[in-house]
Structure 1
């Protein structure tokens, strides 16, 4: 074998290995951290009273309230959530604590606490949410299912613990 053929073979193998690495699917941790950040961004859309950004986080065929009669579709959910998004009904805050990728990486589950504050009375209640995210053809993660547990009254110490529990960075990232 000549040096040119050997060099070409080695370069060909190196390029093939490089191409294979570039096409490997994301790891569970990178998907989980991407959804962690998406969940924080979703909550921020409500904090910012941005209905357009809120809607962009929703899968077009999302279902909210899956533990009861669900609201289906991006437009219907955005309409139903209008008082939460604009802050007139309640001030809603949440963040993920658990984010877990499913079998083939197409779905990720997120869950964490949710704080509901009445803008008129200042009364606070704490609950939990659970969301399922799907990666779209464009690579963006969008909520396809969302539900939660009914919130219970929360005192000032519980509200403080809620705020102290929020992590801006994915714990595995």
Structure 2
């Protein structure tokens, strides 16, 4: 009886470890999918492919221009068309950090934005939603300028005068 219990416990332990490993691998695969999607999205700017850019947008997407939200695919495409009308890309971006919810349905990507000379001028944060197996669409996008702020003052301790 003890042997059966030990055998059963060993099997449960092995299957639990296998299941955990496959979940982690699945999350890693999803993160790579989102990273690849973000890179393909960024490539639309470099390749001047506006139609492909539009294909990444969810119908209800919201992009921010400063603090002003552009609501919906039509508003975003109307505002972003000008970025694709010139022969040279006015900026570029690349995925840096990518995180995916445990549910595998929403993801965040963020990274640097560069001017045409390669100087980092902003950072972006995008939220992606899985709309079909392997098909991620952007639902939120917001850029923030790079801050050239002075370093924060160190907090003084109680004994400082």
Task: Normalising by structure 2, report the TM-score.
Answer: 0.68
Structure 1 residue 61 displacement after superposition: 0.6
Cα deviation for residue 139 of structure 1 reads 3.8
Name 1:94's counterpart in structure 2: 93
Q: Which runs of 4+ in 1 moved over 2 A?
A: 85-90, 122-125
Aligned to 1:30: 29
Query: What secondary structure does 2:91 align onto?
Result: strand
Question: Which 10-residue stretch deviates more, 133-142 or 91-100?
Answer: 133-142
- Which structure has the larger Rg over C-alpha atoms? 2
- Which of the numbers 127, 131, 134 marks the counterpart of 2:129? 134
Q: Does 1:148 align with 2:143?
A: yes
Structure 1 residues 30 and 115, CA gap change in structure 2 (3 angstroms): same
Aligned length: 127
- Unaligned 5+ segments in structure 2 are 1-18, 149-161
Name the TM-score, length of structure 1 as normaliser. Answer: 0.64
User: Residue 109 and residue 88 in structure 1: after superposition, are their counterparts in 2 closer, same or farther (change >3 A)?
Assistant: same
* Structure 1: gaps of 5 or more residues: 1-20, 154-173
The aligned runs of 1:8-157 (5 Å cut-off) are: 27-65=26-64, 68-87=67-86, 91-117=90-116, 126-137=121-132, 139-151=134-146
Report the CA distance shift for 1:102/1:138 in structure 2 as closer, same or farther (over 3 A). closer
